[in-house]
């Protein structure tokens, strides 16, 4: 694959075409930003960030029942 092919792939990657809107929850937005930041990193980094997002989202959902 050459540079032109890679640029074409990046330009048509749906994840790169959609700009994520803020959720209004600072903790959720922070971990989603961290997940975005590791998109081009090794899989281990992506998994760690994804697990952190999962923990934060679970915590936020658990908090909903306490209000």
pLDDT of residue 1: 53
In whole angstroms, what is the distance from residue 36 CA to residue 18 CA?
Answer: 12
Q: How many CA atoms lie within 13 A of 8 on its CB side?
A: 5
For residue 18, the 8-state DSSP code is: S
Q: pLDDT tens digits for 4-56?
A: 555 555 556 665 667 889 999 999 999 999 999 999 999 999 999 999 999 99
pLDDT of residue 51: 98
Quick one: pLDDT band at residue 58, thresholds 50, 70, 90? very high
pLDDT of residue 18: 75
The phi-psi region of residue 42 (left if phi > 0; otherwise alpha if psi is between -120 and 50; otherwise beta) is: beta
| pTM of the entire predicted model | 0.68
């Amino acid at each position: 694959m050459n540079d032109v092919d890679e640029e074409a792939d990046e330009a048509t990657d749906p994840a790169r075409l959609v700009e994520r809107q803020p959720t209004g929850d600072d903790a959720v937005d922070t971990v989603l930003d961290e997940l975005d930041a590791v998109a081009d990193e090794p899989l281990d980094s992506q998994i760690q960030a994804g697990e952190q997002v999962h923990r934060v989202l679970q915590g936020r959902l658990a908090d909903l029942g306490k209000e």
